[in-house]
Amino acid sequence: MSGTEEGTLVAQWRDLVTCYNKVACDLDRELQDQHGLGMSEFEVLDRLIESGQEKVRMHELAEGMYLSQSAFSRTVARLERAGLVSRAMCMDDRRALFVTATEAGRARHTDARDTHRKVLAHHLG
């Protein structure tokens, strides 16, 4: 573990954090201002619709997401409160829930998608 290795490691980490925060803040602001969606809310909606499936189980949808279980649960709850998503019981396993995008949810996603991609392209392109 040489000093220079440490130095580049820290520098690398700082770049990562800075980059992340810039993009995340911008994304959050744009999505919120233009579409009333938080970054995580869009992310969930995006993954749900992108899956191609009508219904997706909570646990399956949460898989691969950066959020904690509780944060994810609340994000979906927010989406449901906003009428963009609906939750339905799963008969096969009554612990699980199915999440489905509503018409409003699909419409909102279509709108917001452009903003999302634009911000990403601006920062990462």
Partner DNA sequence: GGACATTTAATGCTTGTGCAATTGATGCGT
Partner DNA sequence: ACGCATCAATTGCACAAGCATTAAATGTCC
Interface positions with a second copy (CB under 8 A)? 1, 6, 9-10, 12-13, 16-21, 23-24, 64, 66, 117, 120-121, 124-125
For a second copy, the closer CB: 23 or 82 = 23
60, burial (CB in 10 Å: exposed 0-12, middle 13-18, buried 19+): middle
Closest CA to 98 of 46, 43, 54: 54
74 binds, options DNA, a second copy, none, Cβ within 5 to 8 A by partner type:
DNA
The minimum distance between CB 3 and DNA, in angstroms, equals 27
| Both tokens assigned to 44 | 């969930």
Rule CB under 7 A: is residue 81 a binding residue for DNA? no
- Helix H segments across the chain? 3-35, 39-50, 58-62, 69-81, 103-124
Cβ atoms of 5 and 94 within 8 Å: the answer is no
Q: Which residues of 37-48 are buried (b: 16+ CB within 10 A; e: fewer)?
A: bbbbbbbbbebb
Binding mask 21-40 for DNA (x = CB under 7 A): x---x---x--------xxx
29: partner contacted, choices DNA, a second copy, none (Cβ within 5-8 A by kind): DNA
Minimum CB distance to DNA, residue 9 (Å) = 21
Residues that bind DNA (CB under 7 A): 21, 25, 29, 38-40, 57-59, 62, 66-71, 73-78, 87, 90, 93-97
